[in-house]
Amino acid sequence: MTNLEVADRYAARLLMLSFFLPAKWQVAVVMCISTWFIIRSLRRLRETSKTDFAWALFFSSLFILYFASLAITPVEYRNILLHLCERKVSLFFTPFVMALAGPYYRKVILGELHFFVFGCLISCVAGNLDFIWHFYFSAGGMQVPSHVAYRILFEHFTGIHPTYMGMFLGFSICITILSGRGDFLNGKKVRYAVVFLLLVFLLALVAKSAIVAMILIFVHYGWTQRKWIYGNKLLIGTMVMSLAAACYFIPFTGQRIREVFLYAGNNKPQGITDNSVYVRKIILETDLSLLKQNWLAGVGPGRVLHSLQERYFFYSLDHNSDVSHYDPHSEYLNEWLGFGLAGILLLAGMLIMHLFKAIQARNQLYLYFLLILIITFFTETVLARQEGVLFYALFSSLLFFSSAKPYKT
């Protein structure tokens, strides 16, 4: 292996770890690594077909739509839209980087996916140690910590919103269970331990969308690997019982479950902010009321938050209660409200194309990644934050343009 080939591997590892860096560092690192792979790919340019560039243009079209909207956006909302374009720029350049990289360099990057798992583990361990220090030592730990306090402290330390970390953890679990190379994750005992630890962290964060996605993923994986599971009933049963015990002893999980039952049982919360499920109902009703009047053309991507803030203001007056301002909390509704029917159709079209490609290639990792995204898109405006934009843009482009399956199952 030449020095440049070694440098390629280290660049790919740093790319995987960049998701857990502060936002400003993340942008600089990703841009530098992208430039490195583009330069390295120039001698292999013949491996990139015109079809690849056409698909890259298609997958970058959501950003193009945002950028083109600047021309028709009122001046008072233009700064908001410029900020959105800045945040979403990786939607544009990442598909072209992965198309230009060609099969060789995409394979190099896929070979270092386990470093994304390491990044998740290190961030979660550090975040939980910081929480333990603040709550049990600095604050005295006199009361049972709430899941809200835990999530706030976790995000403050790691810089990653719990919902996005939930997506990262879910994807890391998929990488680990599908790993078939002769690397660190190939040892069975190590893989079981890593999966268990990642699941515990996911349950502690109680990222509902990621947990729902993982349930579906485990059902599918269990069906495809049913013979192996039947032959290892004791091992699987032990892991399930251990996870159940972890759920019992993690106070945050029980609190979130009780919230759901409190709302499902029609018990009126003491306050609007006391029950996150109840708040989600308010958010959905507000989104749909705005969408009902603007379903065809939308309100413009720069005006979405302003239009919702107006409705929350009047909601507070009508109900004599101070309600915070929220974004749509759904990527589908966000694009629909921003661009009208064209926005939701474009987003749906890209996701459908990704699903078709994953099923055609029989790539389980690609399919599981899409399940995590598609489900989380229902409850979170994933592309409103840089970590969500980069997560979607990088891995969807990488897996789409990779012709070979990255793992043998």
Distance CA(67)–CA(51), nearest Å, equals 24
Alpha helices by DSSP H, 111-187: 114-132, 147-158, 162-178
**Secondary structure element (H or E) that encloses residue 132, with its range:** helix 114-132
Q: Which two tokens stand for residue 299?
A: 């309100």
Closest to 277 measured CA to CA, from 379, 146, 203: 379
Residue 260 vs residues 170, 256, 281: alpha-carbon distances, Å: 22, 7, 12
- 356-396 per-position pLDDT tens digit: 999 999 999 999 999 999 999 999 999 999 999 999 999 99
**Confidence (pTM):** 0.92
Q: How far apart are CA 332 and CA 272, in angstroms?
A: 25
Contact present, 82 and 75 (Cβ < 8 Å): no
Query: What mean pLDDT comes out for the span 64-75?
Result: 95
Q: What is the pLDDT of residue 272?
A: 44
Task: Please check the confidence at residue 409 and state whether its pLDDT lies above 60.
Answer: no
Q: Around Cβ 256, how many Cβ atoms within 10 Å?
A: 21
pLDDT at 200 over 50: yes
Average of pLDDT values for 224-245? Answer: 77
225 confidence band (pLDDT: 50, 70, 90): confident
Residue 245 pLDDT exceeds 80: no
Calpha distance 151→148 (Å, rounded): 5
